[in-house]
Chains A and B, each alone.
Chain A
Amino acid sequence: MTPLIEFKDVTLGYRRKTVLEQLNFSIYRGEFFGIVGANGSGKTTLLRALLGILKPMHGTISGHVDAGDSDLPEGGWVDLSSSVGMMRFGYVPQRDSIDEIFPLTARDIVLMGRYGALGPLQRPGDRDRRLAGEKLAEVGLGDMAGKRYSELSGGQKQRVLIARALAAEAKVLAFDEPTNGMDLEGEHAILDLIAQLRADSRVTVLFVSHMLNLIANAADRLMLLHDGAVRIGRVDEILTAQVLREIYNVDVIVDQVGNKRVIVP
């Protein structure tokens, strides 16, 4: 596997408050990388640093851009904190963070995914509109393009935000708790959609969640965050009773039901 993103001696935090220290790890091309932790564990901080919204207090976060993929003609490693946007991230925020007061349709929002590829004075053209329509169809909302975002269901809103990330023609999709507040059916529909997108395009997926069971069967590798402690590894290495006891200080049973892994406290 080839690394796509590298954290070297990274410390993250706000002003004088350190949230995560000495992070050294790589995210590989095409993998599903799960980031799991309770509220306040630093998973959103980590995501914000990756996207270039938060600068590291120390260390570097680098990303590998392909030749012809950005302003760097030959491709290569770039510092993601100083070259924000060079490596195109498809960020899918929590849908609660989107203000529904804006009178925007699903198409309007998906079209915003194209704004990064356009210069300051350029307007979205026919190609951008066509692409937005295609991405809406890809997430199963081809007939909802003209519908107002505020009138969509929770699952449909999440799909619109995924379509916007896809419209950015991103190499990395970064999901922040995309299944929050959804029922079982909604959760699985979103995970199925992500699996489908990976199968179609081999896109790299970063998935932030506080639900270990949800991510246990979808991710290739996991990062567990708890009280400043960080543990990274393949799912079968991380999801063992011993490791989970070390991190969370509780006894759990890790078992297999059919082909699914379950963690029971």
Chain B
Amino acid sequence: MSKLLEMIQQDFMQNVLAGTMIVAAICSYLGVFIVLRRAVFVGAALAQVSSLGVALALFLGGFMGYAGHAHLPAQPFALALTVVAAALMAVQYRERRVPRETSVGVIYASAAAIAILLVAVSSHGESEVLNLLFGNVLTITFTEVVGLATLAFVVGLVHGLFYKEFLFVSFDPDMATALGLRARLWNVALFLTIGVTISLAIRAAGALVVFNFLVLPAATALMLGRGLWTTFAVAIATGILSALSGISISYVVDWPSGPTIVAVNTLLLIVTVAARANPVRGK
């Protein structure tokens, strides 16, 4: 208990807790759309594209003569590439020779490979590169917390205003079009919010933690089989609970925080699956 008190009294840990909880809340909410649209792989591919943007910034920085710790600002590159990839993946097209997921797979594999190759030929140190590429919840700064809070506000506002359009084009784009909604435009808008979130969240919390929040809380919430609003609420609550308890456990027992958060989330999912398989009878 004293260790937990010590944790929340430290400034840097307050940033870590606040930043991770914000990432958990936004990603768990958007994760419901991703899982319902069966686009989990899209989330993984966007994460790789974001990393490619960072690697590209490092490579170009070296190429243009930046040296040592100086480098081109990576975030604009990551954001731009992720936004373009999200817009491309949002466009529904008619499957011809290969299934639609194949193009997502191609983006995933090629973005990952090119990112590693760019890093290999850039002039920066490995640990610096890894931190830039993959982020780490323990390095979240106050500035990043402010940035994440702004992101949460913007995503929350856009989804609050256009929730019904995002839901309709996700559920039945043909009927949405027949009733005059511009399904393609709304799809792109939805994927842009997902792309921007993934890009910014990864830099703060790392790919593993972000991908975890995009999938596991939504899966847990859907397992409970309630209505849509309850699903969103349970997903967000599950994400925040995993973030808080994961970071607390990792601090107390000195485990790596990212994997601990994922482990807690997995445990919650297993408990939910088990509870559904063996419902409590009686009363």
Contacts and interface: CB of A to CB of B under 8 A. Distances in A.
A93 B174 contact: yes
Contacts of A199: none
A113 B179 CA distance: 8
Given A85-B181, A91-B175, A99-B171, A108 B164 contact: no
A2 B179 CA distance: 23
A53 interface: yes
Interface string B168-185: 101110111111110000
A102 B38 CA distance: 11
Name, among A115, A117, A121, the residue most crowded by chain B CB atoms within 10 Å (CB to CB). Answer: A115
A217 B182 CA distance: 37
B48 interface: no
A162 B243 CA distance: 44
A89 B179 CA distance: 7
Contact of A51 (B161, B165, B177, B222): B177
B226 interface: yes
B252 interface: no
B174 A91 contact: yes
B237 to A, nearest CB: 16
B179 A102 contact: no
Q: Which applies to chain B's interface (DSSP): helix, strand, loop or mixed?
A: helix
B231 interface: yes
Interface residues of B, number: 28
Nearest to B182: A84
B180 A112 contact: no
B97 interface: no
Contacts of B281: none
A182 interface: no
B172 A112 contact: yes
B162 interface: yes
Residue of B38, B172, B225 with highest tally of chain A CB at under 10 A: B172
A40 interface: no
A103 B175 contact: no
B168 A112 contact: yes
A157 B225 CA distance: 18
B228 interface: yes
Contact of A99 (B36, B168, B176): B36
Contact of B162 (A89, A91, A109, A120): A120
B228 A14 contact: no
Interface string A91-114: 101000111011111001100110
Interface in A55-90: 84-86, 88-90
Contact of A115 (B94, B176, B222, B225): B176
A103 B228 contact: yes
Given A99-B171, A101-B222, A116-B181, 16 more contacts: A48-B174, A84-B178, A86-B180, A97-B174, A101-B38, A103-B227, A103-B230, A105-B227, A112-B164, A115-B165, A115-B176, A115-B179, A116-B178, A118-B164, A121-B162, A123-B164
10 contacts: A51-B178, A53-B178, A93-B172, A93-B174, A101-B35, A102-B36, A103-B225, A109-B171, A112-B172, A116-B178
Interface of B: 35-36, 38, 94, 161-162, 164-165, 167-168, 170-172, 174-181, 222, 225-228, 230-231
Q: Give 4 nearest A-B pairs by CB, closest first.
A: A85-B180, A116-B179, A51-B178, A91-B178
